């Protein structure tokens, strides 16, 4: 199995609000950046979405070192997930995303590392800048869409 490093970050301009995510996958020094956004989301959803999009980009089983500034994602993977599965995901934030994680992570070995507050890690800072930029783009797009005219406007 290939050894790969993944850095993830998510950002939301409000909670909920326009959000962006970024995942940087590194294999043998080559970077692949996966990014995007949603108009009405939360930080936790964006953090987990970044990881899901990174896993979707992998075409074969990998040993993954995951670096995230999200305690929610790191602890979810390493501590809480088995309990959530046993409880049928009752009273869990984002059960739809965690179910996707179970499916997408199956062929991989994933070791999460929580990078508290980025701690100056250059790759996590890069992820953060891209995620915030994506969130801003989603917000700007939403502000420039004019609603269609109705009969009352005529």
Q: Which is the catalytic residue, given 10, 17, 19, 20?
A: 10
The catalytic residue among 37, 69, 76, 108 is 69
CA dihedral (47, 139, 41, 106) positive or negative: negative
106 catalytic per annotation? no
CB 45 within 8 A of CB 98: no
Active-site residue 128, yes or no? yes
The catalytic residue among 17, 37, 47, 76 is: 47
Question: Is residue 153 among the annotated active site residues?
Answer: no
Structure tokens at 50: 């970044």
69 catalytic residue (yes or no): yes
Active-site option among 9, 19, 38, 76 = 9
Among 19, 38, 108, 128, the one annotated catalytic: 128
In DSSP terms, which residues pair with 12 in a beta bridge?
19
The rounded distance, in Å, linking the Cα atoms of 121 and 123 is 6
- 118, 120, 125, 153: the catalytic one is 118
Q: Where in the sequence numbering do the catalytic residues fall?
A: 9-10, 47, 69, 118, 128
């Amino acid at each position: 199995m290939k050894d790969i490093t993944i850095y993830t970050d998510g950002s939301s301009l409000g909670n909920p609000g326009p959000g962006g995510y970024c995942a940087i996958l590194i294999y043998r020094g080559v970077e692949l950046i996966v990014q995007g956004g949603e108009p009405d989301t939360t930080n936790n959803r964006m953090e987990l979405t970044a990881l899901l999009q990174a896993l979707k980009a992998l075409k074969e089983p990998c040993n993954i070192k995951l670096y995230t500034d999200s305690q929610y994602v790191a602890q979810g993977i390493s501590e809480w997930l088995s309990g959530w599965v046993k409880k049928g995901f009752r009273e869990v934030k984002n059960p739809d995303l965690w179910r996707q994680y179970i499916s997408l992570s199956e062929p991989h070995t994933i070791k999460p590392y929580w990078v508290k507050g980025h701690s100056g890690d250059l790759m996590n800072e890069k992820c953060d800048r891209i995620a915030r930029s994506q969130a801003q783009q989603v917000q700007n797009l939403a502000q420039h869409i004019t609603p269609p005219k109705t009969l009352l406007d005529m």
